[in-house]
Amino acid sequence: MSWSSLIPATSFMPIQATEIAKEVDLLYAFLIIASLVSFVILIGGMTWFLIKFKRTSLDQKSAYITHNNFAEFLWSFIPLIIMMGIFYWGMVIFEKLRTPPEDIAAEIHVTGEQWAWTYRYANGKEFYSSANDPMIVPAGKATKLVLTSKDVIHSFYVPAFRTKQDAVPGKLTQLWFEPKQPGEYIVFCTEYCGTKHSGMMIKIKAIPSEEYAAWYHAEKKGADSPADLGKTLFAQKACASCHSIDGSRIVGPTMKGLFGSGRKFADGSQTKADENYLRESILVSSAKIVEGYPPAMPVFQGQLSDEDVANLIEYIKSIK
């Protein structure tokens, strides 16, 4: 019998709709049981000492007891080891929750606002959260969400997946999940965002991967895909005059294979070219100057909308 089986999935905890949900529940069960054992040892020991060494007369004196170095070491060292083990266990699970796998089957851009969610797919399908338009994802395959907000901080939380991530204005965050089987799962906003915060619920509907592929490639609600719109904007802003798309070197770094690659800067620092790096580089080009290139790119902050920036990022991501 596993630790997680001690927690009824139908009452105390939501269903375990992903494999990582089992790991989260296992850690949670261990913390509850370890806390209970610690409580019994501490309170039970205190109660036993109160009874055994109760003073029986007013003039009774306690015996003089010197400290025991070995005992003091044990009651400090053993809890330290246990806590470090819990920390490492939690760190491993957190890393899994925050690091999407390479084989992402679907990537969806999700934008929070008071008091709804908008989700946009790579092919241009776009939906405004409602009971009739759940977020469609493939079951048995990994889905990555890229989150942001138009106004205040929101938080995208799926209890059945045991995953949660804030949607922050002016920043791109991400989370991923892989539903084990088809079904519908409730999404809550868990960051108080105003008077209608409690009504900011949507559903994620996981469907078989073949059915998802047919739905994804069917007639789309949106116009061009974000990458297509970004390609048009890339041409309109004359980005190609400084950034090639074929790997050749001109004024600025090439866009070919840029996303996900390592970047080294003039000040000696390094980072990975993720969504937030691309966003910062587009809006405030002087923030990080790539080693070996001049600080020649103009600043586009105030000239591009959040949607424009998101479209440009999607186009850059498509240039392999």
3-state secondary structure 141-192: CEEEEEEEECCCCEEEEEHHHCEEEEECECCCEEEEECCCCCEEEEEEECCC
> Which of 64-68, 127-131, 157-161, 220-224 bottoms out in mean pLDDT, i.e. has the lowest?
220-224
Above 70 in pLDDT, residue 11?
no
At residue 4, the pLDDT reads: 39
Above 60 in pLDDT, residue 183?
yes
Residue labelled with tokens 């606002």: 113
- Distance between CA 125 and CA 205 in Å, rounded? 15
Above 50 in pLDDT, residue 92?
yes
Top CATH class, 106-217: mainly beta
pLDDT tier for residue 2 given thresholds of 50, 70 and 90: very low
> What token pair was written down for 52?
């055994």
Going from N- to C-terminal start, the domains of the chain cover 14-48+71-99, 106-217, 226-318
Above 80 in pLDDT, residue 280?
yes
- Distance between CA 250 and CA 247 in Å, rounded? 9
Choice between 86 and 12, residue whose per-residue pLDDT is larger? 86
Burial of residue 193 (CB within 10 Å: 0-12, 13-18, 19+) is buried
Above 60 in pLDDT, residue 5?
no
How many residues are given for the chain?
Answer: 320
At residue 7, the pLDDT reads: 39
Query: For residue 135, what are the β-bridge partners?
Result: 204
Mean pLDDT of the chain: 84
At residue 86, the pLDDT reads: 94
At residue 172, the pLDDT reads: 87
Strand 135-138 versus strand 142-149 pairing type: unpaired
The dotted CATH code for 226-318 is 1.10.760.10
Identify which of 53-62, 172-181, 269-278 has the greatest average pLDDT: 172-181
pTM: 0.70
> Which of 149-158, 187-196, 272-281 bottoms out in mean pLDDT, i.e. has the lowest?
272-281
3-state secondary structure the chain: CCHHHHCCCCCCCCCCCCHHHHHHHHHHHHHHHHHHHHHHHHHHHHHHHHHHCCCCCCCCCCCCCCCCHHHHHHHHHHHHHHHHHHHHHHHHHHHHHHCCCCCEEEEEEEEEECCEEEEEECCCCEEECECCECEEEECCCEEEEEEEECCCCEEEEEHHHCEEEEECECCCEEEEECCCCCEEEEEEECCCCCCCHHHCCEEEEEECHHHHHHHHHCCCCCCCCHHHHHHHHHHHCCHHHCCCCCCCCCCCCCCCCCCCCEEEECCCCEEECCHHHHHHHHHCHHHCCECCCCCCCCCCCCCCCHHHHHHHHHHHHHCC
At residue 131, the pLDDT reads: 56
At residue 142, the pLDDT reads: 92
**Do 106-217 and 226-318 show the same overall fold?**
no
Burial of residue 50 (CB within 10 Å: 0-12, 13-18, 19+) is exposed
